[in-house]
Amino acid sequence: MKFKILCLTLVSTVAFGLSCPKSFDVKKIAKEVLKAEFSGIRVDGMQGHKCIQQGKFPYVLATHDSSNEEASEPQYTISREEEVKINNVKLVDKSSYVYEVSFSVNGVDIDSKKKVLHSDKILLNLFKDNRNISISGCAAVLGAPEKIAIYRDCYTP
């Protein structure tokens, strides 16, 4: 019986697309979103890149969304092994589940080539209903980080 329920859950997840484990808190969700952010979704010219394939992101919708107006080039590279630290979570709008998440991660400045502690913020809208979770995963990004950081293996100099 348990096996049948497990199979049914797996099938329904595939049928409906993305998911969001109930155990995920805002910090965990923010980290999942940042995985997509660091994969180049804001970098002009990276649409369709192997780093942004949706299959790599079971919990967030990886939409390529570079600026149409300003330069969309990475400023920092980071290692996938580097842990992202969530410094602060601020509830901005309770009724709409909007949070401002401050984070920092060790990286290298592409211009100076120096190691830096990159700190930034992201504005997230968490989804609580199954319908939006299946379409977009745990959260949608309302405000992207000011600077673009990218995984080293996704970056082309």
Q: Which residues bind other proteins (CB under 8 A)?
A: 44-45, 47-48, 61, 63, 65-73, 92-93, 95-96, 98, 110-111, 123, 125, 127-129, 131-132, 135-136, 140-144, 156-157
Which lies closer to other proteins via its Cβ, residue 44 or residue 85?
44
In the complex, minimum distance from the CB of residue 123 to other proteins, in angstroms, rounded to a whole number: 6
Which lies closer to other proteins via its Cβ, residue 116 or residue 142?
142
In the complex, minimum distance from the CB of residue 3 to other proteins, in angstroms, rounded to a whole number: 32
Report CA dihedral (154, 10, 84, 62) to the nearest 10 degrees.
Answer: 40
Residue 39 to residue 43: CA distance in whole angstroms = 9
The residue type of 15 is: A
66, 123, 118, 126: which is closest to 96 by C-alpha? 126
In the complex, minimum distance from the CB of residue 115 to other proteins, in angstroms, rounded to a whole number: 19
Tokens for 142, please give them: 């309302």
Contacts of 38 (CB under 8 A, 6+ apart): 78, 149, 150, 151, 154
Which lies closer to other proteins via its Cβ, residue 54 or residue 119?
54
Contacts of 13 (CB under 8 A, 6+ apart): 19
Which lies closer to other proteins via its Cβ, residue 42 or residue 118?
42
* H/E run at residue 68: none
In the complex, minimum distance from the CB of residue 128 to other proteins, in angstroms, rounded to a whole number: 6
